[in-house]
Amino acid sequence: MPDQPDDKLWKGLPRNVLLALLRLALPSIGPTLIPFQTELVPPVALRLDGVFLGEVESIRCLLHIEYQNSIDSTMPRRMYDYDIDLERAAFATLGERLPVLPIVIWAVPGKTPAPVYQVKLWGETFAHHTYFEIHLPLISWQQDLDPVLLVLAPYFRGVQRGDLVAIGERLYAEADPEQGKVLLASFLALSQQTFGNIQDVLATLLERLGLLMMDIEQAIIESPLYQSVMARQIAESRAEAVAKGIAEGVAKGKVEGIAEGVAKGKAEGKAEGKAEGKAEGKAEGKAEGKAEGLSEAVATLWQTIYQSALPADIAAVLPTCSEQQLLTILRAIGARTSEAELRATYHW
């Protein structure tokens, strides 16, 4: 199954691809999407994946888009809450009450919750909220569809690495000539994110389409989708480097610490009484220093992996952990174990 895209990657979609995607649920959507932003209710803007001003059947409205990379049974309630807040934010910002049309784009296969949320009491319905859905894994790249949607083909039903050349050829042949390179670049960027190294696919496409490597490389680099992919890969590489560096540093510190302890132990072992007490004090100090260093390493790696500061309650527990426990925690964070799993495992 393809890797799951993150929200930043989705936000890098070319606008005409997004429009074509929305037309699958709203065929009468207008040709223009204007990003909607509000400074009056920051929490709303932070939580939503995408909000645009547009027209559907000539009626001005807000299009609320959520990209789902995993199946979430709470989606109906979440969409209800989001859209209530969004209506208030839009009124505060624009001074008019606009209808909100919510759309959930599912990028993973599987059974999803029914797109309806209701509040019922005493046999009466006090709230009823629904949303549109688009399921990418139900789309076939071979069906009759807007060619720009082939940019998203790596997430369509049954697409394999061996299909990429044929899909790229069809995309370039059927798309607007002025957009061909940009769309092909976006498709290749998403294919790279999904299937890994695709240099052979790129070389074959360039030969069959009669394109120059420098032309398509420039289009790829300028593609917002490619920039989103690279931003994710850079973040993951940094996290891996930090985890590896910490692990290597800890291992090296252990070796050096043992060697230093043996050397000093031999030298100081010749003395009695006072020297023995001094050695014990040094050993205790080293142990405390190593534990403190490992605790700081946990905090640093947590910030890198989860993009947030180490929670205060966890930080308070770390000083009580043994060296072995701290090393185990570091390895778990480096493996991108979720915070919930970590808390359950270590009883935080």
65 beta partners? 50, 103
**For 28-48, what is each residue's pLDDT tens digit?**
999 888 888 765 444 544 567
The pair of structure tokens assigned to 291 is 């534990």
DSSP state of 29: B
Dump the DSSP string for 181-205. HHHHHHHHHHHHHHHS--HHHHHHH
Average pLDDT, the chain: 77
Query: 224-268 and 323-334 helices cross at what angle (nearest 10)?
Result: 160
Nearest CA to 188 out of 152, 160, 213 is that of 152
**Identity of residue 212:** L
Three-state DSSP at 163 gives helix
pLDDT of residue 238: 46
Give 63: exposed, middle or buried? Use CB within 10 Å, 0-12, 13-18, 19+.
buried
pLDDT of residue 130: 92
DSSP state of 38: -
* H helices present in the chain, as ranges: 7-11, 15-23, 42-47, 75-94, 164-174, 180-195, 199-209, 213-222, 224-268, 274-306, 312-317, 323-334, 339-346
257 beta partners? none
More confident residue, 123 or 234: 123
**For 184-224, what is each residue's pLDDT tens digit?**
888 888 888 788 888 888 889 888 888 766 766 666 666 66
Q: pTM of the entire structure?
A: 0.60
Nearest CA to 307 out of 229, 239, 230, 244 is that of 239
**For 234-289, what is each residue's pLDDT tens digit?**
444 444 444 555 555 555 555 555 456 555 655 554 555 444 444 444 444 455 56
CA distance 5 to 152: 11
Long-range (24+ apart) CB contacts under 8 A made by 320-328 are 321/291, 321/295, 322/291, 323/287, 323/290, 323/291, 323/294, 326/291, 326/294, 326/295, 326/297, 326/298, 327/250, 327/294
pLDDT of residue 247: 54
Interval 7-20 mean pLDDT: 77
CB atoms near residue 98 (< 10 Å): 16
Q: What are phi and psi of 128, to 5 degrees?
A: -140, 120
CA distance 80 to 78: 5
**Is the Cβ–Cβ distance between 332 and 345 less than 8 Å?**
yes
**For 301-314, what is each residue's pLDDT tens digit?**
777 777 788 888 88
